[in-house]
């Protein structure tokens, strides 16, 4: 079950859509590996939504629900949530496990591997 509403600026990807959206994606892409049952993820959610509103159109943020996509969690060695993995043109360029929940902290984590 995916909990995506019309105000959600972060698209959920699954194992079926990950290659097309992330690995064949162009430019900077951030993937939040999360779970709806994770208390830290719920705390992070409103601020990661704000960051998604703040980044430019060339910067994309996606999410993977590890409760339903355990294969992807295993492939990226996700040991705790939330974990942000940054991709550039399909290659992993950065990672942050359990980022601080402030907007400024999330924004710096999201932009840091890209030099923005």
Residue 85 backbone dihedrals phi, psi, to 5 degrees = -120, 130
What is the domain range of residue 62?
11-114
User: Total structural domains in the chain?
Assistant: 1
The whole-angstrom separation of Cα 37 and Cα 27 is 31
* Cα 105 to Cα 40, 51, 77, 100, 102, distances in angstroms: 14, 10, 23, 6, 5
Q: Is residue 86 part of a domain?
A: yes
Q: Is residue 3 part of a domain?
A: no
In this structure, what CATH number is given to the domain that contains residue 108? 3.40.30.10
Q: Is residue 19 part of a domain?
A: yes
Give the model confidence (pLDDT) of 30-57 as tens digits.
Answer: 999 999 999 999 999 999 999 999 988 8
Give the model confidence (pLDDT) of 60-88 as tens digits.
Answer: 999 999 999 999 999 999 999 999 999 99
Residues in the chain: 116
Look up residue 18 and give its two tokens: 């990950």
Q: Is residue 1 part of a domain?
A: no
Q: What is this structure's pTM?
A: 0.89
Q: Is residue 2 part of a domain?
A: no
Q: Is residue 6 part of a domain?
A: no
């Amino acid at each position: 079950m995916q909990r995506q509403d019309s105000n959600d600026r972060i698209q959920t990807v699954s194992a079926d859509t990950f290659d097309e959206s992330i690995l064949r994606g162009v430019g900077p892409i951030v993937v939040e590996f999360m779970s709806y049952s994770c208390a830290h993820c719920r705390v992070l959610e409103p601020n990661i939504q704000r960051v998604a509103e703040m980044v430019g159109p060339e910067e994309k943020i996606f999410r993977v629900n590890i409760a339903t996509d355990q294969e992807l969690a295993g492939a990226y060695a996700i040991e705790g949530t939330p974990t942000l993995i940054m991709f550039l043109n399909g290659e992993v360029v950065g990672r942050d496990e359990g980022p601080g929940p402030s907007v400024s902290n999330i924004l710096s984590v999201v932009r840091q591997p890209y030099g923005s």
